[in-house]
């Protein structure tokens, strides 16, 4: 599951937890990792807006509960939150996960999209909502 984490200066980020949901309405959440890590960013991370597409990569040897998606581009500088994940199955059997999230720069709130196949590499993409219907370019 994804959770909203709030750190220094009340800047929000996205963390993950693992656990088991049992059939008898019982939920067990595993203990979080002890050493949090942020992803290594590559791509267009120095810009803002829909063009601020970038990729985050986490070390494979770090547990999911130690991975933190921390604000990277100017549009996210005051926080990212409200990630809503959905599992998507392609016709050929591939599985990927998409999530919309909210980016905040201290003045404006903008919607963004992330995509991952493995929760190790995340493609962070802008959603252009200017001038009508929202558009997304998925790569």
Rounded CA separation 14/9 (Å): 15
Reading the block at residue 105, the tokens are 């720069």
DSSP string, 15-78: EE--EEE-TTS-EEEPPPPSS-EEPEEEESTT--GGG--EEEE--TTS-GGGEEE---SGGGTT
Residue 137 confidence (pLDDT): 52
Indicate the pTM of the whole model: 0.82
Residue 46 confidence (pLDDT): 53
Residue 139 confidence (pLDDT): 46
pLDDT digits (tens, 9 = 90+) for 85-119: 999 999 999 999 999 999 999 999 999 999 999 99
More reliable by pLDDT, 80 or 47? 80
Kindly list the domain boundaries of the chain, sorted by start residue: 2-126
Q: Which of 99, 35, 112 lies closest to 71, judged by CA? A: 112
Whether residue 29 contacts residue 17, with contact meaning beta carbons closer than 8 Å, is answered with yes
pLDDT digits (tens, 9 = 90+) for 6-59: 877 789 999 999 999 988 889 999 988 788 899 999 987 555 444 589 999 999
């Amino acid at each position: 599951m994804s959770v909203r984490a709030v750190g220094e200066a009340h800047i929000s980020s996205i963390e993950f937890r693992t656990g088991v949901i049992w059939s008898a309405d019982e939920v067990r959440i595993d203990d979080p990792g002890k050493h949090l890590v942020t992803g290594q960013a590559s791509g267009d991370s120095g810009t803002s807006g829909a063009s601020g597409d970038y990729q985050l990569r986490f070390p494979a040897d770090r547990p999911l509960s130690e991975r933190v998606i921390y604000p990277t581009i100017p549009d996210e500088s005051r926080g990212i939150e409200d990630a809503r994940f959905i599992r998507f199955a392609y016709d050929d059997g591939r599985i990927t996960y998409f999530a919309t999230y909210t980016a905040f720069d201290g003045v404006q709130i903008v919607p963004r999209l992330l995509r991952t196949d493995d929760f190790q590499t995340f493609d962070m993409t802008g959603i252009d909502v200017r001038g009508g219907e929202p558009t997304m370019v998925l790569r």
